[in-house]
Amino acid sequence: MNIEKFLKDSLNIEKEAWATAEAMASLAQRENTDRLIEEYAQDLTFMEGAAMKAAKMVQGLPEEDIRHVFAARYLHKMTWEETAQATLSSLSQVQRLHKKGIAWLEENYEI
């Protein structure tokens, strides 16, 4: 998995957790709830780990303006337009900073 895909996936972790919880609640009525609870706990642990890894990657970025773009986009789950507004940048500048940040992460992190 590459860095950009990992970060994009981190945007959906919360949605995945809720979907998993809903599925577990539905299945719990028909199956062994202990096994389901254990599986759900493992899923949440994995998702929490992925979210923590994404946060550490963002904190490790070497330039403040790039960190702000990545924090807005991946930690605060803002759209590209919201990210541009939050960082007081144009959309094209945000995309340039994002591209630069992805290149740096790919050189310095392994997924």
2-31: per-residue pLDDT in tens? 888 888 887 777 777 777 777 766 766 666
Domain that holds residue 27: 3-108
State the pTM of this model. Answer: 0.74
Predicted confidence at residue 9, as pLDDT, reads 80
Using 50 as the pLDDT threshold, list the residues of the chain that sit under it: none
- What is the DSSP secondary-structure string of the chain? --HHHHHHHHHTHHHHHHHHHHHHHHHHTTS-HHHHHHHHHHHHHHHHHHHHHHHHHHHH-SSHHHHHHHIIIIIS---HHHHHHHTT--HHHHHHHHHHHHHHHHHH---
For 24-33, write each residue's pLDDT tens digit. Answer: 667 666 666 7
Do you know the residue count of the chain? 111
Predicted confidence at residue 106, as pLDDT, reads 94
Predicted confidence at residue 82, as pLDDT, reads 96
Predicted confidence at residue 110, as pLDDT, reads 83
Domain count, the chain: 1
